[in-house]
Amino acid sequence: MTKAFVAGALALCAFGATVVPALADDTIKIGYVDPLSGGGASIGQIGLNQLKFIADDVNAKGGVIGKKIEVIGYDNKLSPQVTLVQVQKAIDEGVQIIVQGNGSAVGAAVESFVAKYNERNPGKAVVYLNYAAIDPSLTNQNCSYWHFAWDANVDIKLEALTNFIKSKQEVKKVYLIDQDYSFGHSVADTVVSMLKEKRPDIQIVGNEFHPLVKVTDFSPYIAKIKASGADTVVTGNWGQDFALLVKAAGDSGLKVNWYTFYAGGSGGPTAIKQANLPDQVYQLVEGFNNIDYKPMQDVVRTYIARYKSEPIYYPRIFNMTGMLFKAIQEANSADPAKFAPKLEDMKYATFASGDEGFMRKKDHQFFQPLYMSVFGALDAAKQPFDEEGTGWGWKPSAQIAVKDTDHPTTCEMKRPN
């Protein structure tokens, strides 16, 4: 009995060894390097799902310049060092397009690695498409020709946010609470300086930092916010630090408006609903489901139907892939050295609304209309999408035009000859 199965297993192994995966030259390989295991995987997997979704769609229509798109996931465990090993692996396997997003530390590592790699290995160019790392240094002092960023960086987001607050006369006292690391500090420092310029009458009544994902109980912080008399809180918190913060606020009955960047991240909507803070939490994004734009909503419906358990997606990945394919078509080549110039200054009708954005040549930063959305109960007729099964969803509050997101760069880009 057992012998038979041993034999069977051996036969299976032997069979497996003979089937070498078909290596085809007519594919464009996209290496997706992000966390696919452990804690960070909850966000990393979403990007991979979405890329695969897009690739399937494009391949069904015949691919790009006659080649199929192949998306390969590489698990970087959210560590810059592992990332570099995985990027090396991807390059070995013939990948020339690296997509990465989560973690500015990882982004910085990839950007610097790709720049050095291209310098040291001329003729085998690799390009880094960044869909979520938003530390300003990536497109300022450390900017690189081989890096393109589709998410608005922190400075741009804050430019947009403060331009939005500028017109909100009811904002009088602002409290800042952020995670104690570089992103949190960028948010706090920039908000303080921009508000001082745009709305000198606004009082900053608190500027708090707390260690990254170490706080279990935010009640003391909420007590401090309450004591300060703030009417508005600006926070760059994400993940557990955001969820626990709003839950503590809900528990203690704190009534303020929250301006955030990552409230929509996984678990955020659930926490806001549990905290029962309707129409108080705002999020600055480049797009969300309930914008009244049919082409986007149709795609989203198909996507959600396929990834029922993880129905979250990033509109910017649609922008990124759309522009990438367009550039490849224009260059009629999947070689980054050839299609990268086409991306520069490319204009593109954004996925979320069809309004136009552009890739700034100077620093390879994509500029696009941004939206202030607010989370709460939906108008079923006009706003069909809720979040995480809460029954609540993101609703439009304001669009921030491309010109109001403009922020200068210090980038002095070294271009290949």
Partner 1 sequence: MLEILFISTLNGVLYGMLLFLMASGLTVIFSMMGVLNFAHASFYMLGAFFGFEISRRIGFWPGLVVAPLLVGAIGMAIERYGLRRVHRHGHVAELLFTFGLTFVIQEGVEMVWGKLPVDYRVPPSLDFPAFTAFSTNYPAFKMFELLTAIAIFAVLLLVVRRTRIGLIVQAALTHPGMVGMLGHNVDRIFMLVFGVGAGLAAVAGVIAGPALVTQSNMAGLLGPILFVVVVVGGLGSLGGAFLASLLIGLLQTFAVASNASLAGLLGPLSPSAKQQVFLADIWNVTVAQVAPILPYLLLVLILIFRPRGLMGRRES
Partner 2 sequence: MKNFLSTFGVWIVAAIVAACLPQLFGSGLALTSMSLMGMMIIFSLSYNMLLGQTGLLSFGHAVFFGLGGFFCVHAMNDVAAGKLPVPLIVVPLAGAAAGLVFGALLGWVSTRRGGTAFSMITLGIGELVASSALILRHFFGGEEGVTTNRTDLAPLFGLNFGPQLQVYYLIAAWCLVSVAAMYALTRTPFGRICNAVRDNPERAAFIGYDPQAVRFLSFTLSGLFAGIAGALAAINFEIMNAGQLGAAQSGAVILMVFIGGVGTFAGPIIGAILVTYLQVALSDVTDAWQLYFGLLFIGMVMFVPEGIAGLLLRQQPLLRERQLHRVVPFYALALLAGLVTIAGLSLAIEMANRLTAHAGDGPKMAFLHVPLNATSVLPWAIAAVLLVGGGWLFLRAARASRNAYDTALAASLAAALAHRSNA
- Shortest distance, CB of residue 347 to partner 2, whole angstroms? 31
Of the candidate residues 54, 71, 99, 109, the single one contacting partner 2 (CB under 8 A): 109
Strand arrangement of the beta sheet that strand 27-34 belongs to: 68-75, 27-34, 97-100, 127-130, 147-149, 365-367, 356-360, 347-349
**Nearest one of 233, 288, 240 to 257, comparing CA atoms:** 233
**Residues in 288-347 that interact with partner 1 by CB under 8 A:** 309-310, 312
Residue 244 DSSP symbol: H
Q: What character string, x for contact with partner 1 (CB under 8 A) and - otherwise, covers 370-389?
A: ------------------xx
Binding mask 220-249 for partner 2 (x = CB under 8 A): ------------------------------
Residue-wise DSSP of 271-336 = HHHHHT-TTTEEEEES--TTSS-HHHHHHHHHHHHH-SS-----HHHHHHHHHHHHHHHHHT---H
The pairs formed by 307-315 with CB atoms below 8 angstroms and a separation of 24 or more are 307/49, 307/53, 310/45, 310/46, 310/49, 312/46, 312/264, 312/266, 313/46, 313/49, 313/50, 314/46, 314/47, 314/50, 314/101, 314/131, 314/132, 315/285, 315/286, 315/287, 315/288, 315/350, 315/351, 315/352
Cα–Cα–Cα angle for 357, 361, 363, rounded to 5 degrees: 100
Q: Is 91 in the site for partner 2 (CB under 8 A)?
A: yes
Least separation in angstroms between residue 211's CB and partner 1 is: 5
Helices vs strands, H then E, count in the chain: 12, 15
CA R_g for the chain: 23
User: Of 49 and 290, which has the nearer Cβ to partner 2?
Assistant: 49
Contact yes or no for 102/40 (Cβ under 8 A): yes
- The letter for the amino acid at 36 is L
Q: Which does 390 bind (CB under 5 to 8 A by kind): partner 2, partner 1, none?
A: partner 1
Q: Rule CB under 8 A: is residue 215 a binding residue for partner 2?
A: no
Beta bridge partners of 399: 371
41 belongs to the binding site for partner 1 (CB under 8 A): yes
Residue 304 CB, nearest approach to partner 2 (Å): 10
Provide, rounded to whole angstroms, the least separation between the CB of residue 41 and partner 2. 8
| Near partner 2 by CB under 8 A: residue from 58, 65, 105, 299 | 105
Number of residues that bind partner 1 (CB under 8 A): 43
Binding residues among 242-281 for partner 1 as defined by CB under 8 A: 243-244, 247, 251-254, 266-267, 270-271, 273-274
User: Which of the choices partner 1, partner 2, none does residue 397 contact, using the CB cut-off of 5 to 8 A by kind?
Assistant: none
Binding mask 213-232 for partner 1 (x = CB under 8 A): xxxxx-xxxxxx-xx-----
79 binds partner 1 (CB under 8 A): no
How many Å apart are CA 413 and CA 295, to the nearest integer?
36
39 binds partner 2 (CB under 8 A): no
Please identify, using beta-carbon distances, which residue of 293 and 385 lies nearer to partner 2: 385
**Would you tell me which residues interact with partner 2 (CB under 8 A)?**
1-2, 5-6, 8-9, 12-13, 15-16, 19, 21, 36-38, 41, 45, 49, 52, 73-75, 77, 79-82, 84-85, 88-89, 91-92, 103-105, 107-109, 112-113, 116, 120, 135, 137, 142, 180-183, 185, 211-212, 214, 306-310
